[in-house]
Structure 1
Amino acid sequence: MVLIFGVNFPENRMVKRSLETFYGIGPRVSQGLMARFHIHPTARVGALANNQITELAAELSNMTIENNLRRKMRDNIKRLRDMGTYRGRRHAMSLPVRGQNTRSQIMTARRLNHVDRKN
């Protein structure tokens, strides 16, 4: 097991997939991180050197990910709701925010907006 940013990963897991498990890191960001630290795209976590692991952990600590990103998104939605903007009202009513069709395909948007953005 290899510890990266407080999370244990099995040694046979790919580095790209391990980085993408963090909330806020997608395929492009993980690919950029791997390129910055000269890690091969098919490298496994167990094959990383200790200095690469510490550099990755230091870079992840400087990024806005996980709980900080969730808090930031929640605060942005709360700010929109408090200002009374159109987008804030749509979030408050659990409706699609970005102009999607509401006549026939609203259930997905209601489910997504209701769970994370209720308060």
Structure 2
Amino acid sequence: MVFIFGVNFPEATLVKRSLETFYGIGPKVSQGIMARFHIFPYAKVGSLKNQQVLDLTAELSEMKIENDLRRQVQDNIRRLKDMGTYRGRRHAMGLPVRGQRTRTQITTARKLNRIERGGQGRVKM
């Protein structure tokens, strides 16, 4: 088990995949981090040297990921709601925000946003 940024990873997992498990790190960012520290794209976590693990941990500690990023996203949504913008109202009602069709294909958005709306509508089981 290798310890990266407070999480234990099995030695057989890929470094790219283990980096992408953190909220806020996608394929492009993980690829850039690996290129910065000269890590082969198909390298396993167990094959990393101690210095590379320390470098990865230091890099991740400087980035805004996990709870900090989640908090920032929630603050941005709260700011939109407080200002009363169109996007803020759509967030508050649990409707699609980015111009998706709502005439026929809204059931998924309503299903996903049911908790925030306070239980309006019936729940089908």
Q: TM-score per shorter chain, which class? A: over 0.9
Q: Secondary structure at the match of 1:97?
A: coil
**Post-superposition CA distance 1:37-71 (Å, at most 9, x none):** 00000000000000000110000011110000000
Which residue does the alignment assign to 1:93?
93
The farther-off stretch of 17-26 and 105-114 is: 105-114
Q: TM-score, normalised by structure 2?
A: 0.89
Whole-angstrom CA distance in 2 between matches of 1:110 and 1:56: 39
Q: Secondary structure at the match of 2:90?
A: helix
RMSD: 1.3
Q: TM-score, normalised by structure 1?
A: 0.94
Deviation at 1:113, TM superposition (A): 4.0
Q: Which structure dedicates a bigger proportion of its chain to helix?
A: 1
The farther-off stretch of 103-112 and 65-74 is: 103-112
Whole-angstrom CA distance in 1 between matches of 2:28 and 2:114: 28
Task: Please list every run of at least 4 consecutive aligned residues from structure 1 whose deviation after the TM superposition is greater than 4 angstroms.
Answer: none
Question: What percent of counterpart residues are identical?
Answer: 72
Matched length? 117
Which residue does the alignment assign to 2:44?
44
Q: Secondary structure at the match of 1:11?
A: coil
